Amino acid sequence: MRETVSRFLLLLIVTLVVVPLDQATKLYISSHFRLYESVTVLENFFHISYLRNKGAAFGLLADSAFRIPFFITVAVLAAAGILVYMYQISNRQRLLQAGLSLIFAGALGNLIDRVLYGEVIDFLDFHWYEHHWPAFNVADSAITVGVGLMLIDLFLEERKKKGNEKTEKE
């Protein structure tokens, strides 16, 4: 029981940090920038650019009539799945817990945008001269780092299993 509480406490803390930070940065950008306005931070590398994304990553499904219900449904199902999975995983899998918590918080941050505006506010614009990576936000960053932590956990768990198999064979 105590292990389960600590997992959900981590999820709560991460959510209480990421979601307000995400929403505050989006509120700042939308109230201090005009849509499509861009400010250079590092020449030919990083701008703060106020954009709105109706679609998913890379603008996927941006023009689809069912995009809003689809994205809201996916976010709610993902959040529910994460809650169930958090209950089932081992307490020693801290990277996985942190990763799932970041994904949960990021999904919630972008869900709030979709419910309020029908689209997501993006503003972090990295590029190399004219080659741009799609703009993103704090929630997207949390999701990306969360997936990275999950992949690291998966790699470490696989190595551990292979190490245990070798030990058992010897």
Residues belonging to the active site: 122, 140
Calculate the alpha carbon distances from 1 to 5, 7, 11, 14, 88 in Å.
6, 10, 16, 20, 12
Give the three-state DSSP class for 152: helix
Alpha helices in the chain (DSSP H): 2-32, 67-88, 94-117, 138-169
**Residues forming a β-bridge with 132:** 127
Residue 40, SS3 per DSSP: strand
